[in-house]
Amino acid sequence: MKHAAALDIISRAIRAKVCTKCCQRPPLSEEWEPGWKRPCEGGCAIFLNLPRLTQIVAHIKDTHLDAYESAVRSSVCQHCTLTPTAGDYCVEQFTRSCPLSRYLGDVVEVLSKVPQVMACDNEQAAAALAGVSR
Ligand code: SF4
């Protein structure tokens, strides 16, 4: 599957799994189509870091979320510019108001399907693999 098509499917899968319940979602957006892009996506720690998060998930392959949290802290949070306290003592991470921190388990679950989605040569089947409809 082409990279752009796979990225589109994975983005829609994250929207369906995370954006529909996100504490930062726009009011009433839980009633939108699950795969629709929310206006907050351009400033979202999950979507802004999707390539890096995909690399982390591909390399770690651990059953414990701690391993992913640690990798995200060292290679994403240290470079984050979304909040003034980003880094080791990020208030948004401590309070779990950062969507990436709060929903990392869901993000890992979706991104763990990237290899299968990429390997699929049929878009409909790839979308079904990722848990979204085409
Ligand atoms: S903040 Fe991010 S995860 Fe939350 S609804 Fe917006 S785009 Fe989705």
Q: For residue range 21-75, what is the model confidence (pLDDT) as tens digits?
A: 999 999 999 999 999 999 999 999 999 999 999 999 999 988 899 999 999 999 9
Q: For residue range 67-120, what is the model confidence (pLDDT) as tens digits?
A: 999 999 999 999 999 999 999 999 999 999 999 999 999 999 999 999 999 999
SS (H, E, C) the chain: CCHHHHHHHHHHHHHHHHHCCCCCCCCCHHHCCCCCCCHHHHHCHHHHCHHHHHHHHHHHCCCCHHHHHHHHHHHCHHHCCCCCCCCCCCHHHHCCCCHHHHCHHHHHHHHCCHHHHHHCCCHHHHHHHHCCCC
* Ligand 1 atom 8 nearest Cα: 19
Ligand 1 nearest-atom number relative to CA 103: 3
pTM for this prediction:
0.93
| Most informative mutation of 41, 92, 96 for ligand 1 (most atoms within 8 A of CB) | 41
